[in-house]
Structure 1
Amino acid sequence: MHRNVFYGADALAHTARLVIDTGQTDPHALLAEARRTRPWLSRLLADFFHTHHFLDTPADIQSTRAAARRERRTEAVPAPLRPAVRAFADVLVARRENAERLGLRPNQLKTIEIRLDTVRDLALHLHAKGHTTWAGVNVTDLEAFLARNPARRASWLAGLRQFFSHAHRTGLVLHDPAAAMEAPQPRGFSGSTLTLDEQRALYRRWSVGEAALPHEAFIGLAALLHAATTTELRHLTLVAITTASRTVRFPGRSIDLALDDATWRALEACLTTAAPCTPTTRTSWSPGSPESPPIPPAQPTSETASHRPASSHGSCAPHDCSPLPTNSTSSSSPWRWACPTAELPTTDSRPEQLSVVAERRLRRRPPTSCADRCRTGEAQSAHV
């Protein structure tokens, strides 16, 4: 009954009223009347009748269907070999129930059906060869059966080992023919590999050429020369990199790995490219503040900036960035970033048009990359 005392008392009162109204004590009649007049009470009565064995426990639909499938597989076995297969199926089901009762990991119903499929196919193969008992099966018969499908040798052999182990314990066979059989599995990498010419071409691309990005070059060289896996590269952190000795300790390895010149240059390029743009000064001014924004540091003119080299990677170091105010309200921050190392427009350009274009871009979306910040700074510097 229900844990709540008042709910249980109410259920008992309604059950008594149900018995008085129907004038019967048959569980089937009481359940039928409860489903018609008191639907909430029908489940409580059904649980009570099943617990005290007044009604048969309802069978699980999945278990019923699985039992029917096992029976079909057992019936497909030739009659002289069928009793042993039926006993083997019962043992597999009993092991599953015991594992569930003990809280262990039981075999799935599909696994039991796969084992029965293997034994059924073996029985059909042996019966076609003239075998009428399991006692005369030897290793040669099993090897001939496994040779029919070499790709499934490991799966079939697992089922045969279970069956003949059960048959040996029950005295059905005097010797287990599947005990000494093996199914070797290929170890290591089994995919396609690159030829030596392809590896040399990739090495030249990553070490000498400039077409590859720094991250591509480092990942490729680390995998090609130092056998770094994707997991090791994914979990590599700055703590594992030693600049003084030019070594890297990949996750899971016990020693530091000394990098060659090409791999170290690629790693340095990755670290340089990943350097974020951060402001040199921070202010607390907001667009809605009545006070005027603070005056930013003086920016270089186009004449002085034209002699500076442009950034090679489209990014700037933290000390090269300085904030510039803007009147755009589309972004949450009133500041934009100007990169002095970026190339500024020449004197013959039209600053009014550049300012209008910059304002339109800022209204559409705030600059998220360092290149956008540099372009915004160029337009505003030209306008100033």
Structure 2
Amino acid sequence: MTRTPHEMSGEPNPLCALGLDDLRRRTSMKWRTYPDDVLPLWVAEMDVPLAEPAVRAVADALALGDTGYPAGTAYAEALAGFAEKRWGWEGIAVERTAIVPDVMLGVVEMLKLVTGPGDPVVVNPPVYPPFFPFVEHMDRRVVEAPLGADGRLDAAALEEAFAAAVAHGGRAAYLLCSPHNPTGTVHTAAELAAVAALAERYGVRVVADEIHAPLVTAGPGFVPYLSVPGAERGLSLMSASKGWNLAGLKAALAVAGPGAAADLARLPEEVSHGPSHVGVLAHTAALRDGTAWLDALLAGLDANRRLLAGLLAAHLPAVAHRPGEATCLAWLDCRALGLGDDPAEVFLRRGKVALSSGLPFGTGGAGHVRLNLATSPGILTEAVRRMAAAAEGES
């Protein structure tokens, strides 16, 4: 039987390495927001030990006292090498990149380059909740183009939103989430080419949040937005933070298509002071030397997707669930359980399981929850058992 690269990494499954006692020693948001009797499967932190190359890079930097300000192009070079090997994409030119503090702050800086105060920004709900406040706090307007019933981009809704966004003049942008959070949808090359064509037709600038790009299953394959025809004026934000669980080591890269190089050149120099130098070193090491660890993680996530599907079928058959092709997240439609618009509140109150409420994800989020799959099979199994008991107790 032929095995996928994910299965041939030779690394142990990092999702099986840590028990609850180990995890509860952590002091991050995931493990300090709720009491110890709650299983936290909400925010996208993973229950894994870090890849050894990233750990070594941080330890070496601390030993040297190498904790100053970031410099150089090593991160961009590592991402370019990863993109070529992983996705067959040779489109990252180091001179068209810039380090930024993290993906969402990078999104804000890119939107500042291509829109002005009061301008519209199109998003595809249900979508990553920070999109809404970040856009609004920078004095832009959110315009929704909801996903289709199949959880994929709806070209008709997108065109309608683009037309509305530019109807009164001014500039407009489209904040694309690729792969999509929370559904785990991987947009196809044809879908992204259609997006690029629409954006050019209406004069809408595309800013792609591609933070989950490393977390794509072996099947569909990630397609970088800037790799499709017509996307030359696009801007992308990429990072190793989600793929290697490095959110606390702040760093990301902005990548410009050939037609957006002049826009990226206007990025204020002080933005590059925001990333963590130690974070840049860790991300660079992960991209260069951490692919075997990543493959083991992807195999573990695939196994957890199958496990979750089986657990839901056995214990919560009324929950509708379409397994995603990417991210470490699962989007669960709980409306048939009769738990109201915010089933996450019921699961927390009655089952002691913390999930992300669907409501902040925008249109299409009511009655849904987002579950973080990046945990051990044992914790995942116990969480679904508790959710089933909570739903039964509430009915």
TM-score interval (norm. to shorter): under 0.3
TM-score by length of 2: 0.20
Larger Rg: 1
TM-score by length of 1: 0.20
Greater RCO, 1 or 2 (C-alpha within 8 Å, sep 6+): 2
Query: Relative to total residues, which structure has the larger strand share, 1 or 2?
Result: 2
